[in-house]
């Protein structure tokens, strides 16, 4: 014990507080190292992810022009390294993606981020909005609806016109909350009506609680409830065909 005390006697907490100032990347010498764009992600599942199978499935789905490198940092936490920015953007903008019907929640890693501290709680998805009354389809109203479903991202500006049967909104769903089935629209005259939602590429969710990535044996609410599965409040009708 005396030897240890002597060895570290000149170390103080002030030494740890001093730290370093990293050099600016712009000042570093040019190298031939490939520039990478890294997405970090996790799958909405309580099951173990079959890593090798997942790598093959995701690579085949994305078909990146310059390839992708995948590693497993910890259980169900994966950095995906792309060598072309458009490959990474394609994955972010064309999702949601899935492995074994479990949605992938991912985001771009930015300078200064600590990968394992990123929450990964938002799933961007296209939502179809049905039964909007005439006169209530302006962009600001659709944006309000997007923020009701999750966090509004953008509108579909291609499929427009009076003849359309639904409107499309891109929104980021909070994966900690049940998906929305419908919304009460209350016009100025007070004669309210329901507008209905359907989701494109909606993967596993549980019909009792509406939670993404959930299955019955992990749902405490379903275990405690005495409800016939045919009467669960959610169902396949929330998926687009």
13-72 residue pLDDT tens? 555 665 666 666 555 555 555 699 999 999 999 889 999 999 999 999 999 999 999 999
pTM for the predicted model, two decimal places: 0.82
At residue 187, the pLDDT reads 83
Local confidence band at 94 (pLDDT 50, 70, 90 cut-offs): very high
At residue 40, the pLDDT reads 97
The C-alpha atoms of residue 79 and residue 106 are separated, in whole angstroms, by: 9
At residue 116, the pLDDT reads 87
> What is the CATH code of the structural domain delimited by 27-117?
3.30.70.330
Q: Name beta bridge partners: 168.
A: 128
CA gyration radius, the chain: 24
The DSSP-derived string for 97-125 is -EETTEEEEEEE--TT--GGG----EEEE
The C-alpha atoms of residue 104 and residue 59 are separated, in whole angstroms, by: 13
| pLDDT, tens digit, 9 for 90 and up, residues 150-200 | 999 999 988 665 667 899 999 999 999 999 999 999 888 878 999 999 999
Q: Name beta bridge partners: 212.
A: 205
Mean pLDDT of 99-126: 94
Residues 204 and 219 sit within 8 Å (Cβ to Cβ): no
Mean pLDDT of 138-161: 90
Q: Which two tokens stand for residue 81?
A: 């390294």
Mean pLDDT of 86-99: 96
The dihedral through the CA atoms of 38, 105, 52, 117 has a sign that is: positive
- CATH 3.30.70.330 residue ranges of the chain are 27-117
At residue 165, the pLDDT reads 87
Q: What percent of the chain has pLDDT over 90?
A: 61
Q: What are phi and psi of 114, to 5 degrees?
A: -100, 105
> Of 227 and 149, which is predicted with more confidence?
149
Q: What percent of the chain has pLDDT over 70?
A: 79
Neighbours of 132 (CB within 10 A): 18
Using alpha carbons only, what angle is made at residue 166 by residues 104 and 184, rounded to the nearest 5 degrees? 85
CA 230 to chain CA centroid, nearest Å:
29
Local confidence band at 6 (pLDDT 50, 70, 90 cut-offs): low
CATH of 122-236 given 3.30.70, 3.60.21, 2.60.40, 1.20.1630 = 3.30.70
């Amino acid at each position: 014990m005396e030897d240890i005390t002597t060895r570290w006697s000149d170390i103080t907490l002030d030494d740890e507080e001093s730290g370093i100032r990293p050099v600016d990347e712009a000042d570093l010498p040019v190298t031939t190292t490939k520039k990478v764009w890294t997405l970090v992600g996790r799958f909405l599942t309580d099951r173990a992810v079959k890593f090798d199978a997942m790598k093959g499935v995701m690579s085949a789905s994305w078909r990146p022009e310059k390839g992708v490198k995948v590693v497993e940092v910890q259980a169900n936490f994966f950095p995906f390294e792309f060598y072309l920015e458009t490959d990474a953007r394609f994955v972010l903008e064309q999702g949601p993606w899935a492995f074994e019907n479990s949605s992938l929640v991912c985001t771009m890693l930015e300078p200064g981020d600590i990968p394992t501290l990123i929450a990964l709680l938002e799933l961007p998805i296209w939502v179809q909005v049905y039964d909007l009354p005439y006169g209530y389809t302006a962009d600001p109203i659709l944006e309000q609806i997007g923020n009701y479903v999750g966090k509004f991202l953008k509108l579909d500006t291609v499929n427009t016109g009076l003849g359309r049967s639904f409107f499309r909104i891109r929104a980021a769903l909070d994966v900690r909350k049940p998906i929305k089935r419908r919304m009460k629209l209350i016009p100025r005259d007070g004669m309210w009506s329901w507008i209905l939602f359907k989701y494109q590429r909606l993967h596993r969710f549980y019909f009792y609680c509406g939670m993404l990535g959930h299955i019955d044996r992990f749902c405490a609410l379903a275990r405690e409830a005495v409800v016939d599965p045919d009467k669960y409040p959610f169902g396949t009708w929330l998926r687009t065909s």
